[in-house]
Amino acid sequence: MIRAGIVGGSGYTGGELLRLLHFHPKVELAQITSREHAGRFAHTAHPNMRGVSRLKFVHPDRLEICDLLFLALPHGTVARDIERYAELAHKLIDLSADFRLESARAYAGWYGEAHPAPDWLARFVYGLPEVNRERLRGADYVSGVGCNATAVNLALRPLVCAGVLERAAIEIKVGSSEGGNKGNAGSHHPVRSGAVRTYKATGHRHMAEVQMVLGCEAEIRFAVTAIEMVRGVHLLAHCRLKETMVERDIWRLYRGQYRAEPFLRLVSGKLGLHRLPEPRVVAGTNFCDIGFELDADGRHLVVVAALDNLGKGAAGSAIQSLNLMCGFDETTGLEFPGVYP
């Protein structure tokens, strides 16, 4: 049993961590922090936990020593105080973007400022188990993942690893929770409701993670569009293959890459409504569903993927990484299959 805490627990990612860790049999969640809600029950910010959790928010200054800390703070915050957090816990999982990139130069290029703690970058392992499983085993410092980057990396990795992807043009549709729990002009209900608004057509920061994981040999571009959805990431990638392939070849690549992965599901049905991945089906879970259709010419492949931005795109991957860090079964605490309809 390990003793854990959540720093920055009032946001959506903090709430998802609270929900998942409460049912983790190997974790005692001992503390959760919030400046705004200090002294109040956690369920005041996360009403789904009413009658389930009796934890109260504590002020960050009152954090106590524990085995592991989840850092669910805004980007740029953790790196400026990393020494303090490392003194409070032997193991850290930072869900912000502060330690996702391996290079301080890349960080400055994508985030527009020098990294506050460049010497720490090499200490962190990128927390995507499907890519870094062996490095995560026994690691002390793990970064979170970008939800959009995770969708791209998992959807295209079999093609990139096989060397068959020439280029990919990707449309990613996202829900409103990706913007966090603080209101802004874009999330104002009369503006957000019913919207199909492309807000990042080029240059999304998550592209840095895609380049780090998949490399730059294949030309990969994506745009992000906000739609009428709360939780979820839906990816549709038009892929140009280097060679003519048949459907059996594509299945062989994806099954070969993901056959043993507990949270990757291949979805490409011939019957029914859900013949391709859909975010609603994976809401609240740590699954990423991936499917595809191959055009008649054999070189135009459409890949579709869906995940929960708060689950596999954030808290779920973080807990999957925790399991690897601590030697637990990788699926512990993450077995929830979602609800339908």
| CATH assignment at residue 36 | 3.40.50.720
At 149, give phi and psi (nearest 5°): -60, -40
Give 98's contacts (C-beta < 8 A, 6+ positions apart).
Answer: 75, 76, 77, 78, 79, 82, 115, 116, 117, 143
Q: Do 8 and 76 fall within a single domain?
A: yes
Clarify whether residues 32 and 170 are in a common domain: no
Domain count, the chain: 2
* Residue 94 domain-assigned (yes or no): yes
Q: Is residue 236 classed as helix, strand or coil in its secondary structure?
A: strand
Q: Is the peptide bond before 279 cis (omega within 30 degrees of 0)?
A: no
For the four alpha carbons of 133, 10, 111 and 103, in that order, the dihedral sign comes to negative
- Domain containing 119 equals 2-123
Residue 180 sits at φ, ψ, to 5 deg, of 85, 180
Q: What angle do CA 257, 204, 187 make, to 5 degrees?
A: 110
State residue 179's pLDDT score.
87
**12 plus 65 within the same structural domain:** yes
Q: In whole angstroms, what is the distance from residue 118 CA to residue 25 CA? A: 35
Region 126-152 average pLDDT = 98
Same domain as 167, residue 303: yes
Kindly list the catalytic residues: 147
pTM for the complete prediction?
Answer: 0.96
Report whether 156 contacts 165 (CB < 8 A).
Answer: yes
Model confidence at 182: pLDDT above 90: no
Assess contact for 237 and 155: CB atoms under 8 A: yes
253 domain residue, yes or no: yes
Determine the pLDDT at residue 206.
97
Residue-wise pLDDT tens digits, 233-276: 999 999 999 999 999 999 999 999 999 999 999 998 888 888 99
DSSP calls for 138-162: T-SEEE---HHHHHHHHHHHHHHHT
The whole-angstrom separation of Cα 265 and Cα 253 is 14
Are 34 and 181 within one domain? Answer: no
Q: 169: domain CATH number?
A: 3.30.360.10
